[in-house]
Amino acid sequence: MGVFDGKKILIMGVASERSIAWAIAEALHREGAELAFSYPNESLEKRVRPLAEQLGSRNVIRCDVQSDSDLQNLFNCLEASWGRVDGLVHSIAFAEKEDLQRRFSETSRAGFHTALDVSAYSLIAVCGKLARLFPEDGGSVVTLTYLGSQRVVQHYNVMGVAKAALEASVRYLAADLGEQGIRVNAISAGPIRTLAASGIPKFKEMLGEFGDKAPLKKPLTTEDVANVALHLLGPASVAVTGETTYVDCGFNIMGI
């Protein structure tokens, strides 16, 4: 028997088989969870749907998190097919490439709005919609963040501000939804070669610095992050909420 036998969990943010969200999905599937997946547009549907089918998922739902109608449709689909949701993995973030390349002081108003909307508000919006689908004994929400929320990381720019907002949202959602037994936590993962990371300028240099300074002299993998996600989604962490857990081989503790 798996730890997640009979549990129904929504995965948001798979972009490819190298995604952290995909590693979490595979780990949940091995432990018996039934999964649903969302995708934001037709281009990503072509990647997400075949991956979801590998894990036997019949719920592959379009959801552009900037669309209130898409968010409502996500709720409607899950209510109709499942009737409840036990967990949510939120691995969604976006910033315009130009706003990552230019000086932070030159961030565009539209770019700032987009980064905050997609990367932070989306967690609030999805939790607001799905809270009614969680069972009486609650459930768990896990989102993905990064150290750039707390420290200046070159070229991370507006995404760092968005991740800071995401982490604050985790705390406020944890307080707001705690009476329903819904736990909300974040994982701050170190740099990993993913599709999303490829959009960050000088990512290779960032990865090299991580390898030099992290106390645990090992490459970080998506499976490392997935193992911690399983802990936060599962019964072993029933008294943990509102936290940001670092999975970065100890890089965050180091000074200059």
For the chain, what percentages of helix, strand and coil (3-state, to nearest 5) are there?
50, 15, 35
Number of domains in the chain: 1
pLDDT of the residue at 203:
60
pLDDT of the residue at 212:
81
Domain containing 177 equals: 8-253
Let me know if residue 3 belongs to a domain.
no
For β-strands 139-145 and 87-90, DSSP reports them as: parallel
Mean pLDDT over 153-163 rounds to: 94
Let me know if residue 153 belongs to a domain.
yes
For β-strands 59-62 and 244-247, DSSP reports them as: unpaired
Q: What is the pLDDT of residues 183-225, one digit of tens each?
A: 999 999 998 866 565 555 566 666 667 678 899 988 899 999 9
pTM for the complete prediction?
A: 0.94
Place of tokens 């106390």: 215
Let me know if residue 1 belongs to a domain.
no
Q: Which two tokens stand for residue 219?
A: 């490459």
Q: What is the pLDDT of residues 16-67, one digit of tens each?
A: 999 999 999 999 999 999 999 999 999 999 999 999 999 999 999 999 999 9
Distance CA 74, CA 82 (A): 12
148 contacts: CB under 8 Å, gap ≥ 6: 156, 159, 160, 163
pLDDT of the residue at 126:
98
| Residues labelled as active-site residues | 146, 156
228 contacts: CB under 8 Å, gap ≥ 6: 187, 245, 247
Domain CATH code at residue 60: 3.40.50.720
Q: For a pLDDT cut of 70, what percent of the chain falls above it?
A: 93
Let me know if residue 33 belongs to a domain.
yes
For residue 171, name the pLDDT band (cuts at 50, 70, 90): very high
